[in-house]
Amino acid sequence: MLKPLVLLSGLVGVTLVSLPSSAHVTVNPREATANSYAKLTFRVPHGCDGSPTTRLRVQFPEGFSSIRPMVHHSWQISIVKAELDEPYMDHGQQITERVSEIIWEAPEGAALPDEFMDEFSVSARTPDKPGETVAIPAVQECEDGVSRWIQVAEEGQDPHDLEEPAPLLQLVSR
C-alpha cells in the first residue's frame, strides 16, 4: 500500500511544480504551419495577483499578416497598425501597413474576475519561417497591476525559468 501513496505523492509534487509554467498567458495551438492561416487563441488563466483583468494587449511581430480579431462578448477591440518597411502585393492590392497589436478592453464594471479564465482569438497568416519559434508578447492589464508576458529565453535558457514568458508559437513546414 505504500507504493501507491508514494506514487500519488510524486504526482502531486510534479503537478504543483508544473503549475507556474502554465499560469501565464499562452497561445493555442502552440504549433502552426508556417506561411498559412491559423486561428490563434490567447488564454488568460487568471488576473494579476488577485486583481481582475481589464485589458489584454497582444503584440504581433513582423511576418504575421491578415490579422483579424474575433469578436469577444462586449469587450471593445482596437487594432493598432504600423507602416511596413517594404510594401507587398496581396490579392491585387498593395499592402503598406501591418497589424502590430490587438487590444481587447473590458467595458466598465465587466472586468474578468481573477478566479475565471478566458480566451481571445485572432485569425492570422503566420510568418514564413518554418522551424522557428516566434514570441508573441502579451500585456495583461488589471484593475490593480500589470503582467507583462514579454520575456524571451536567451539561447540555451529554459523558457520555464522566466517569470513572465511571452507566448510562443512553433512554426512547422507544410
- Indicate the pTM of the whole model: 0.84
Beta bridge partners of 99: 81
Residue 15 phi/psi, 5-degree rounding, is -60, -45
Are 149 and 140 spatial neighbours (Cβ–Cβ below 8 Å)? Answer: yes
Answer yes or no: are the C-beta atoms of 52 and 108 closer than 8 Å: no
Q: Go through the chain and tell me how many residues it has.
A: 174
513582423: which residue's cell? 62
The model's pLDDT over 102-145, given as tens digits with 9 standing for 90+, comes to 999 999 999 999 999 999 999 999 999 999 999 999 999 999 99
pLDDT tens readout for residues 23-61: 799 999 999 999 999 999 999 999 999 999 999 999 999
pLDDT averaged over the chain?
Answer: 89
Is beta strand 37-44 parallel, antiparallel or unpaired with respect to 26-28? Answer: antiparallel
